Structure 1
Amino acid sequence: MSNAHTHGHADEGAHGSLTSYTIGFLLSLVLTGLSFGAVMSGAVPHAMILPTIVGLAVVQLLVQLVLFLHLGSAPSQRSNSVIFLLTAALIAILVAGSLWVMHNANENMMPMQMSAEHAMARE
């Protein structure tokens, strides 16, 4: 009976510890505070606010993927990492394809030299 109990928890290494969750939480708070401070304090030049926020958002995404979702290159984490990467690729393909279709529809639906009023007058 005890063998079945310990067998169910054989992959506990794939889960984070309280320390890793605490570090991830604190890093997320610090990165959020830095983003807020970059906008509110005026310490970052106006032209650099957007790149600063995007950079801090990417760092926070990486912190959360590694410390909360446990994505990495360890053998116990590879399947989660592959699934995440394939999902991200699928979303990128869907978004890019949708933007391409909308762009082509916009370019090909009405000629630029014809205004809406002129098109209505032709009917």
Structure 2
Amino acid sequence: MRKLNIADLPDGGTPATLAAIGTGWGPVVRGGISRYDAPGHRTHAESDRHTHDVPEIFTIVQGAGVLELDGARDTRFTAGDILIIEPGEDHHLVSDGDVPLVFTWMHLAPAS
């Protein structure tokens, strides 16, 4: 897992920069935006373990929380943070802010 901040990106986070974050992988193949209103909400509640075989990039738009990575909750995030989840890492976002958690998520294609 890597953690960046939008303010640290040289061009403010254009699609080209976001694609460069996942260097070695293909373009974004799917993604979306999610909102969770309740503090304590844990994403991917459908299972105890949630992994992918490609990277997933989260951009935190609003709110705050903690990243649960491979069972440990030790990485805090807040609006403006970018979380890059590597293939095979078990991951969940857990909301704990005073406002709803809003984030984008993107899956990258395998390298061609």
TM-score (norm 1): 0.20
* Higher-helix-fraction structure: 1
Answer with 1 or 2: which has the greater Rg. Answer: 1
Q: Bigger relative contact order, structure 1 or 2, given CA contacts below 8 A and separation 6+?
A: 2
